[in-house]
Structure formats: structure tokens, C-alpha cells
Amino acid sequence: MATFRNRNGKWQVRVRRKGQPAVVKSFQTKQDGERWARQVESDIDKGAYTNLALAERTTLKDLIERYIIEVTALSRSAKEDTFRLKALSRDPLAALNVTGLTPSQVAKYRDRRLKYVSNGTVIRELSYLSSIINHARREWGINAANPIPLVKKPPSPQGRNRLLSEAEIMRLLDALKPRIKSSNIWMQSLVSFALESGMRRGEMLGLTWENVNFDNHTAHIPLTKNGDPRTVPLSSAAINILRAMPRHISGKVFPINPPTVSASFDTARKRAEIVDFHFHDLRHMAITRMAEKLPNLIELSAVSGHKSLAMLKRYYHPNPELLAEKLG
């Protein structure tokens, strides 16, 4: 049953059905309210009514801020993800209520972002949005459609295949040598070890001496990016790099934080006059080198830590000349 009440020049309509919470909405005219009430009553009777009241008074910014507190804060990448989500919450899209998140609004956001960031960044941001909305639907009782699957994603960027020549590697390592007291004494060893082990930056920075087994030539990683522990087999060259390193009181093999690694690497790269090369490309190079010794992709993935052979393929860049030699 619907009741009507005139308040401050607007008609407040309340629809009640046994076993259902009351549904309330305001209209400029009583006739509009009556039409709405009839539709709501019909939908409730058919079991097809979705209460959008909470979604209508909740903005995307509200969802993002709650998600940061309840979900992101508990993740391993909390710091980085929080930074990205807070930036997203300042976008005009975040001012819309959840029911206003139409595919066209999201498409405008996509096009606006593509003017400033890469395709890969936009794809990740859309994935964030989709996860937040789905979580709100499942856990917070917010009835709203997820428009993200209806929005065309930018083309996925191709995997990078920038490999350094031997001369470039020598220049880079030379540029990483400590020159003054303030220089970081760990960077040259870190880069050399990355080229030999193929480990991710986070795995290397989290590695402790107690998890390095010199006798077995292995490094144990209790928690990886994939969420599982793994033991990385190390080459003799990688072991020799570790043997030559000094020990830090913290127990970490590489007691450096990620921002320092990025800044130091970028400075050395420029000093070595190397262009279009990122720290993560060291992992590409290492896996490409390992593939020459481990042609079995299952064995190679065990070393690299990839669960998906499709992802491993993005890192593996075989030398066409060597493949030609194998063909005969």
C-alpha cells in the first residue's frame, strides 16, 4: 500500500508490502508519485523489485574510501593501491552516485585518462573500479549494476622486449658503482643479482640471509606476488654475488626501499646513456637467458615463479638466430 505526504512543496511517497522494507521517494507532483508507486508495487509483487535507495545516496567516492579501509588496507600492496585509489576518488567520476555510473560515464572517464596515462594504467584502473563495485554489491548490500564489463577496454600493451647489449650492461654496472659516501652500496649487487636470478624486485628486497642456502644454491621466498611460497634455484654466478656482499644488521640481503631503488637505477641509467629501459626489464633479460639453458617451459616457470605459461611467454624473448641453429 502506498501513502502520500506533501512536505515542503514535494510529495513523499512511501510504499509498504508485508515482509518487505518500506520504499520511500519524493516527487514534484502527486501524479508522478502515483505512477512510481504503482510500478514499485507491481515489481515487488512479481519479485522483480530492486531497492536502489542506498545506491542513490552513495557516491563512488564513498565506495572507494570504504574499500580502502576495509579491503585495501589488508592487502600486501596496500600502500601502492591506496595511493592509486585516492587519486581515483578525486576524479569527477567519483562524485557520481552509484546508480549514475553508466557505461557512457565510465567511457568518458576512460577517454579522459588515456590523454595522460598508458593503456595498461587505464585497464588496471577499470579493473579496480569493477572490483570495488562488485564487492559493494556482494558485501555491503548496495544494489547497483556494474557498468565496467560493458565498456570497451583499451588495447592491452604488448610485452616489453628491451634487452641490453653486453656493452650496455657493463656501462650500467659501472654507473652503479658507489662514487661518494652517500651512494647506495647495494645497487650494483642488486642489479647483478637480478640479471642472474630473474627474481622480482619485491622478492629480492624482501630476501633475508636466513633464507639463502649457499650449499643448495637456493633462495626461499615465504610469500610471493602470487601469494604462495617458493624456493628459487640460483646459479653459481648468483651465489658468488651474494658471497661477495656485506651483511646488514637488519638481516636483509638488500636493505633498500623501492623508491630508493627506482631513483638510484634511473640516475645510473641516465649516466650510462641507456634509453627505454626499466628495472623490471632486468627480469625479462634474466628469463630470456635462462630459457637458453632451460628449454623446458615447465622447468623455466618453476624458476621464474610464473603460474601461467601465457604470462611467462610475455617475459621469454628467444633469440631467432639460436632457434635457427637448432633447426639446422
CA distances from 80 to 68, 75, 86, 259, 313 (A): 11, 10, 10, 11, 26
What is the 3-state secondary structure of the chain? CEEEEEECCEEEEEEEECCEEEEEEEECCHHHHHHHHHHHHHHHHHCCCCCCHHHHCCEHHHHHHHHHHHCHHHCCCHHHHHHHHHHHHCCHHHHCEHHHCCHHHHHHHHHHHHCCCCHHHHHHHHHHHHHHHHHHHHHCCCCCCCCHHHCCCCCCCCCCCCCCCHHHHHHHHHHCCCCCCCCCCCHHHHHHHHHHHCCCHHHHHCCEHHHEECCCCEEEECCCCCCCCEEEECCHHHHHHHHCCCCCCCCECCCCCHHHHHHHHHHHHHHCCCCCCCCCHHHHHHHHHHHHHCCCHHHHHHHHCCCCHHHHHHHCCCCHHHHHHHHC
Q: Which of 246, 237, 202, 199 is nearest to 219 (CA)?
A: 199
Active site amino acids: 200, 225, 280, 283, 306, 315
Four-CA torsion 172, 174, 175, 180, nearest 10 degrees: 160
Report the distance separating Cα 316 and Cα 321, nearest Å.
15
